[in-house]
Amino acid sequence: MNITPVNEREIHQYVQRYLDATNCTILEKAPDHFIVKLSPDADRALTNRPYYWGFVDRVGVEPETMSFLFVTNSKQYDQQEVSANIQQADSEFASETAEMSGSDAHLVRSLGFVPASLQEGKRYPRENLYFGARKLEQIFDAAKESGSYVCLFEQPNRRNANPFESAAYTAWLGVNLKVEYICDQKKEEIYSFGVSLITGHCVEGFHDKLLKCRLSPQLPSNIHIAKNGVTAIRALQIIEQTLERKLKQMDYGWAEQASLRLEEELDRVSSYYNKLLEHALEENKTGISEQFEQRKSEIRQQYEPRVIASAINCGIFHLEGID
């Protein structure tokens, strides 16, 4: 089974949106990482400090939130960090040795030199964010809990010159889904679908479409919402059917391999317990049989291939035009 993350860029964009939505302070941003000071809401959701926040709530003091280094592409980040450290070390080594006498410089070259600045720089707790990472799962859960449903309107780029004209808007059901491919290994993918509540037309990559729009909970002036022809329940069924068709087209060689590993493991355990039962005393066989069944259940839970789809969040988005 291929465990490579679907797209580090998608993770990076998702984390960026979460940090912006929760009003976190981004101290440093690059394509492979963020250095961020969490907002109070994000700190409560991600740091598991109930006693601290209980103290803050009781006393009413100004909270001191935590800061993190969130790495969304660890391979690229580590390569750049090593390169930067080497360049910094070479530069400071040259500067230090240039000020020394000949004998001192020889001593440094013999014993080695570690620039003090590399040790004194401020360090942040590092969290690698990839599909399956604990901290990314926390972000998913926090987003699901606090922003599982929204109702937003696209804000027009310019006002209508005629105050008596009304622009038509289409209501869309947008749903972000997480699909987990699970056996003794795990892979996750994120899908975003939107369904027009007028026509029932389904769009994949709907979130990318929303990124190009200015959205707000505020209803714009001089607009009207076109009458829906599709219910939200029917739109959700359309999304489920679309996702099901996509999943049927996937390569499930990983599941076949996992099933083979499952059978091999069951055979290995069965061989062990059958021999154990064969030589066990009669009064001990019941307990051994119960252990055998429990062990088989654990192995199936670990190895049995399965696909699980779950909603991360959803919303009704009113977009300009009739679609």
Provide the token pair at 46. 């991600």
Helix (H, G, I), strand (E, B) or coil at 198: coil
Do residue 224 and residue 275 come from a single domain? no
Do residue 159 and residue 175 come from a single domain? yes
- What is 133-161 written as a DSSP string? -HHHHHHHHHHHHHSSEEEEEEPPSS--S
**Tokens 């039962």 correspond to what residue?**
277
Do residue 205 and residue 273 come from a single domain? no
CB-CB neighbours of 153 under 10 Å: 22
How far apart CA 140 and CA 143 sit, in angstroms, is 5
Do residue 193 and residue 257 come from a single domain? no
Q: What mean pLDDT do residues 265-276 have?
A: 93
Give pLDDT, residue 279: 87
CB-CB neighbours of 200 under 10 Å: 14
* Structural domain that includes position 240: 148-252+307-320
Do residue 112 and residue 246 come from a single domain? no
Domain end residue (candidates: 99, 128, 157): 128
The rounded Cα 322 to chain-centroid distance in angstroms is 33
Is residue 84 domain-resident? Answer: yes
Provide the token pair at 68. 């993190």
Residue 171 has pLDDT above 50, yes or no: yes
Provide the token pair at 97. 């040795």
Give pLDDT, residue 105: 47
Is residue 76 domain-resident? Answer: yes
The sign of the CA dihedral 175, 176, 178, 179 is: positive
Residue 43 has pLDDT above 70, yes or no: yes
- What is 244-271 written as a DSSP string? HHHHHTS--HHHHHHHHHHHHHHHHHHH
Do residue 27 and residue 116 come from a single domain? yes
Average pLDDT along the chain: 84
Is residue 90 domain-resident? Answer: yes
Q: What mean pLDDT do residues 164-168 have?
A: 82
Is residue 3 domain-resident? Answer: no
Is residue 1 domain-resident? Answer: no
Do residue 80 and residue 100 come from a single domain? yes
Do residue 191 and residue 245 come from a single domain? yes
Task: Indicate the number of domains in the chain.
Answer: 3
Count the alpha carbons within 13 Å of 103 in the hemisphere toward its beta carbon: 0
Say if CB 140 and CB 312 are below 8 A apart. Answer: yes
Q: What's the whole-model pTM score?
A: 0.58
Domain end residue (candidates: 128, 162, 189): 128
Give pLDDT, residue 206: 95
211-259: pLDDT as tens digits = 899 988 888 888 889 999 999 999 999 999 999 999 999 999 999 999 9
Do residue 160 and residue 300 come from a single domain? no
Describe the crossing of helices 74-98 and 102-111 by its angle, rounded to 10 degrees.
Answer: 150
Is residue 134 domain-resident? Answer: no
Q: What mean pLDDT do residues 50-65 have?
A: 92
Is residue 142 domain-resident? Answer: no
Is residue 94 domain-resident? Answer: yes
92-132: pLDDT as tens digits = 555 655 555 554 444 444 334 343 333 345 689 999 998 88
Say if CB 292 and CB 284 are below 8 A apart. Answer: no
Q: % helix / strand / coil in the chain, to the nearest 5?
A: 50, 25, 30
Do residue 277 and residue 311 come from a single domain? no
Do residue 92 and residue 155 come from a single domain? no
Give pLDDT, residue 92: 59
Do residue 118 and residue 176 come from a single domain? no
